[in-house]
Amino acid sequence: MSLMSCAEYLLTDFNLLWVTMTAENKSISHVIWDWNGTLVDDSEFCASVVSAVLEEWNLPVIDRLAYRRQFRFPVREFYEELGFSGGDSDYLRVCDSFIKKYRAGWRNCSLQNGAMEVLSTLQKRGVQQIMLSAGYQKDVEASLKHFRIDKFFTDILGQTNTRAEGKVVRGKEWFAQSGLIPDRAILVGDTNHDWEVAEALGVDCLLLTNGHQDMERLAALQPPKINELCEVLELFT
């Protein structure tokens, strides 16, 4: 997607109203980004990895449509809905298997349409950008470096394990250390957990509709939805 297409991308009336109201009442200085499904387009790959894990447990596989319809946090509940019924030790094996397979193939994924452009434009406009991911810290750092976008982030906040257990604690730690007023930040994600994190941190939220959860699942959540990352730029025009 070209810079011109981003500049000309129109918001829906609902989102435009929300953006206008936001712009009138606060000055956003920080964007907190989710990684998987938001900046990197990896939902189809994740569906294939989950299917490979399910096969190891003799469970039915799923395609991308089913994955996006059912995926959610906590991730363990997602696996249980797919038929997994093992105990804690078995679930750790599931997580380890997923991570091993994901690490073997994630480099074949691409960034979401407009991701590089949006990150670059925001940086040029003086917006501070934070990466807040449920992924393992070193994995997230390696991914950002691979796609050559690590330079856009002032802070990269990953997790100390590979269980994708959540981002609230890490986010709260960062706010406590930075001293940033929550009203100055907005979180951009693609799942119910991103909305939960935003609420816990006291920041506004935008949810991308072509990530790890489909529109039907996202429709039940309060935050405005965006169909393209380019729409984020409307907050800063």
Average pLDDT over residues 37-65: 98
Same domain, 167 and 220: yes
Structural domain ending residue among the three candidates 51, 82, 108: 108
Number of CB atoms found within 10 A of residue 207's CB: 26
Q: Do 188 and 153 contact (CB within 8 A), yes or no?
A: no
Partners of 136 in the β-ladder: 159
Same domain, 127 and 228: yes
pLDDT digit string, tens, across residues 183-209: 999 999 999 999 999 999 999 999 999
Q: How many CA atoms lie less than 13 Å away from 142 in the CB half-sphere?
A: 9
Structural domain ending residue among the three candidates 85, 108, 131: 108
pLDDT digit string, tens, across residues 69-83: 999 988 999 999 999
Same domain, 81 and 185: no
Same domain, 37 and 49: no
Same domain, 35 and 148: yes
Structural domain ending residue among the three candidates 108, 137, 158: 108
Same domain, 58 and 73: yes
Same domain, 103 and 170: no
Domains identified in the chain, total number: 2
Average pLDDT over residues 49-75: 96
Same domain, 125 and 213: yes
Same domain, 99 and 116: no
Same domain, 148 and 187: yes
**Averaged confidence pLDDT in the chain:** 90
Can you say whether residue 61 is alpha, beta or left, with left for phi > 0 and alpha for psi between -120 and 50 degrees? beta
Separation between Cα atoms, residue 44 and residue 114, nearest integer Å: 18
Structural domain for 95, as ranges: 43-108
Same domain, 118 and 221: yes
Same domain, 145 and 169: yes
pLDDT score, position 27 = 86
Q: Do 119 and 40 contact (CB within 8 A), yes or no?
A: no
